[in-house]
Amino acid sequence: MKTLLVTISIAAMSYCQGQISMVGMSSHGGFGNHGTLFSVTNSGTLDTLYNFNSGVAGCSPMGSMVTANDGNLYGFTASCGGNGVGTLVRYNPNTKVVTDVVDFSNTIGDGPMGNLILGTDGALYGMTNSGGTGGSGTIFKCTTTGVLTTLVNFSGSNGANPCGTLREGADGNFYGMTRFGGAKNLGEVFKCSPLGTLTVLHSFTGTDGEEPLGSLTIVKDSIMYGMTYGGGAYSGGMLFFCTTSGHYRTLTSFNSTIGMFPMGSLLNAKDGYLYGTTYYGGSSYVGTLFRCNDSGTVSVLTNFNDTNGAYPMGSLTLASDGKIYGMTFTGGNLVAKAGAIFCYNIAGGNLTDVLQFDGNGPKNPQGDLMEINTNVTATNEVAENRSVNLYPNPNKGEFTLEMNNTETASVRTKDNVTLQVYNTVGQMIHTENIQTDTKESTINLGSEPSGVYLYKVVSDNSGMLANGRFIIQ
């Protein structure tokens, strides 16, 4: 197998300090109230990047964006577009232009509600909520130029109406859930090969959960955690454990005290806990932020109360400052009730609002935030005189980056080169300056969980020098 690329300095940049920027989408607000794409800093500076409308670019986005290898951001809208049933769109951070890449249809699938992920092959993978030849949604692969290949047509018996996001495992397969379908028509957990072979790992029965609306979280090797919106002992959802081979175990039934009806996914914060939110329940009945250990014991960290936000629908994001960020669908500004962006400080144990939407721009977000590097530009350029090796691959989170460069050291030292590491959801989990006058350097990602990771090597002078994948075992 051909090895991968790069080189690095031991003097890592201060990744967990200073201002960070995140992008998100709102399902409403903006011109015509058709939704927006926006950026926000951890200090609360908001910038509306694009106003969706009823035209070709689509409207009503319900997820978040993912960064592809070309430096552009890609995401879904759930409706409008050329066929009126949603689009796959591209946002160029240089030109600030949104382009319609794919118009969904009843034939190829329509109404996507989750997020795209970037596969290790550089393609985008996602699901639609309905449509396809089976009428119940699809799994697809799409190039950044818009060539779409349908991998799976859901038809009920093999699952129906997926609402979440795929996860790519270290074994190269994709894992996800459908809201309906399966043996009891209450949803299922599935595995899908890169060629589209679908295997049902578990069909929900009601007592063990039903109707999952979020996504799985791969914690280590073959271990996955997830949540269902309904079912369980109190009909408020279930927190569960499932392996990639289909061993399923219930952990905790959600109730009105710890929260009910979770709609997002669990976040592995790398501190030994998983974090999540519920849409309902808690002391004010508008949702909670909680954490749980690997055995499923749940502790409520914050009760949402309208003032600090209400009814979170998306998932949480662990940013480079070590804090957790998320959004609520409503609440915050009690006049606008347009939602809020919140920050939970794990170290301090407190939640604060970064921003409360005032109703004049973005409002009612249903998706997630994604941290971005504002210094990266979209490019398809790859410098031919640079070659980068990453080894060993797979590894345990520590590896060597080797850059072979025909340029002289005096020329190379004038170039600022950065390594960026992303998970397959598109969140940047590590960045580090590369010392170009050193041939080899050791990179240590600390306690990152097992799985597939993507990397980019970006030069100020030449754009993207290399990109590829590696696996942490």
- The pLDDT tens digits of the residues spanning 206-236 come to 999 999 999 999 988 789 999 999 999 999 9
Consecutive 10-residue averages of pLDDT for the chain (473 residues): 28 48 96 94 96 89 90 94 96 92 97 93 95 97 97 97 94 96 97 97 98 94 93 98 96 98 94 96 98 95 98 94 96 94 96 96 95 59 54 85 58 66 76 74 79 78 72 77
DSSP secondary structure string for all residues of 380-396 = ----TTEEEEEESSSBS
Global pTM value: 0.84
E-strand ranges in 229-316 read: 238-243, 248-253, 267-268, 274-278, 288-292, 298-303
Class of the domain covering 386-472: mainly beta
Half-sphere exposure of 34 (CA within 13 A, CB side): 18
Look at residue 32 and give its three-state secondary structure. helix
Please state, in angstroms and rounded to a whole number, the distance separating the CA atoms of residues 438 and 433.
12
Please state, in angstroms and rounded to a whole number, the distance separating the CA atoms of residues 308 and 337.
11
Q: Of how many residues is the chain composed?
A: 473
pLDDT at residue 382, rounded to an integer: 39
Evaluated on CA atoms 96, 367, 156, 200, the torsion sign reads: positive
| Composition of the chain by helix, strand, coil, percent to 5 | 0, 45, 50
Q: What are phi and psi of 31, to 5 degrees?
A: -65, 125
pLDDT at residue 397, rounded to an integer: 85
Look at residue 203 and give its three-state secondary structure. strand
Write the Ramachandran bin of 86: left for phi over 0, alpha for psi from -120 to 50, otherwise beta: left
DSSP secondary structure string for all residues of 270-281 = SSS-EEEEESB-
